[in-house]
């Protein structure tokens, strides 16, 4: 009888122990699952501010009069800054590079006022899948966490923008939609890149025309002419 009682008590203790541990196992499993789905890709090499450089003989000097890359200081606009120094394309690019390229003919046909030569920032590289959801860029379903991976206006995020701007001067619904920009996933093919301007609503980029062929790239912007 004592053995039976002891066995019964041990069984009860095991059940109680499982009752305590099971929720813990579930929480740990969920936590690990969240980590797997919320990984981020960062860019610690690209500066948000364009510096000045001394041009070399092989470099191009480019004038750019659009505010499509404006982050609050007429960035890249040579009406407010000196000429842009562009290094001829060497076949090597990394995420965050700002490139000088020939606009696709399909876009020039749609808009006769569009500049034939354009600027854009490399966001997606060959064999990556890029998507935009709620104003946020994802690479291979991982969040891209950097200053150029979210919808901004003059460098301001959605929260910063609506705290700063006078709502009487804008179409609030239109800007809400802009900050929640979404785009279906697109696979970056070999010999192409996915590019975005820094102020998405002011320019033309891969959201509009898809992938940019490598053959259209003329060079990489190094900085303003010193």
CATH number of 192's domain:
2.10.109.10
203 burial type by CB count under 10 A (0-12 exposed, 13-18 middle, 19+ buried): buried
Q: Where are the beta strands (DSSP E) in 43-128?
A: 52-53, 60-62, 84-88, 98-102, 117-124
**Residues 90 and 176 reside in one and the same domain:** yes
H helix runs in the chain, sequence order: 2-37, 105-110, 158-164, 172-179, 206-209
**Residues 32 and 132 reside in one and the same domain:** no
Phi, psi of 105 (to 5 degrees): -60, -35
200 burial type by CB count under 10 A (0-12 exposed, 13-18 middle, 19+ buried): buried
**Residues 66 and 119 reside in one and the same domain:** yes
Does residue 25 surpass a pLDDT of 50?
no
Which among 175, 176, 183 has a CA at the least distance from the CA of 132?
183
**Residues 10 and 56 reside in one and the same domain:** no
Helix, strand, coil percentages in the chain from 3-state DSSP, rounded to 5: 30, 30, 40
Residue 81 · residue 181 · CB < 8 Å: no
**Residues 21 and 87 reside in one and the same domain:** no
**Residues 5 and 109 reside in one and the same domain:** no
CA atoms 96, 102, 107, 112: torsion sign = positive
**Residues 120 and 160 reside in one and the same domain:** yes
Q: Which domain holds residue 78?
A: 40-225
**Residues 77 and 168 reside in one and the same domain:** yes
Model pTM?
Answer: 0.82
If one compares 35 and 215, the residue with the highest pLDDT of the two is: 215
Tens digits of per-residue pLDDT, 32-53?
443 334 699 999 999 999 999 9
User: How many domains does the chain divide into?
Assistant: 2
**Residues 44 and 126 reside in one and the same domain:** yes
Residue 50 · residue 185 · CB < 8 Å: no
Does residue 154 surpass a pLDDT of 80?
yes
Tens digits of per-residue pLDDT, 7-20?
434 543 344 443 44
Report the length, in residues, of the chain: 226
**Residues 203 and 125 reside in one and the same domain:** yes
Residue 220 · residue 99 · CB < 8 Å: yes
- How far apart CA 17 and CA 12 sit, in angstroms, is 9
Choose the weakest-confidence range: 34-43, 103-112, 208-217: 34-43
**Residues 32 and 65 reside in one and the same domain:** no
**Residues 101 and 151 reside in one and the same domain:** yes
């Amino acid at each position: 009888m004592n053995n039976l009682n002891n066995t019964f008590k041990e069984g009860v203790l095991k059940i109680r122990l499982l009752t305590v541990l099971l929720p813990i196992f579930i929480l740990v499993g969920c936590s690990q699952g969240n980590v797997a789905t919320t990984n981020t890709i960062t860019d610690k090499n690209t500066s948000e501010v364009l510096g000045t450089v001394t041009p070399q003989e092989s470099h191009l000097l480019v004038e750019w009069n659009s505010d499509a890359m404006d982050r609050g200081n007429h960035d890249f606009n040579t009406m407010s800054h000196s000429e842009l120094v562009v290094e001829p394309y060497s076949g090597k690019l990394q995420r965050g590079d700002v490139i000088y390229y020939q606009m696709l003919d399909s876009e020039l046909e749609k808009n006769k006022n569009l500049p034939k030569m354009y600027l854009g920032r490399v966001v997606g590289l060959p064999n990556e899948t890029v998507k935009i959801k709620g104003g946020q860029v994802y690479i291979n379903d991982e969040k891209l966490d950097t200053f150029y991976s979210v919808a901004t206006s003059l460098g301001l995020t959605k929260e910063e923008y609506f705290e700063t701007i006078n709502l009487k001067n804008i179409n609030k619904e239109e800007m809400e939609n802009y900050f929640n920009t979404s785009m279906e996933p697109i696979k970056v093919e070999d010999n192409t890149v996915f590019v975005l301007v820094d102020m998405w609503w002011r320019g033309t980029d891969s959201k509009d025309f898809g992938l940019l062929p490598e053959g259209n790239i003329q060079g990489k912007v190094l900085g303003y002419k010193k």
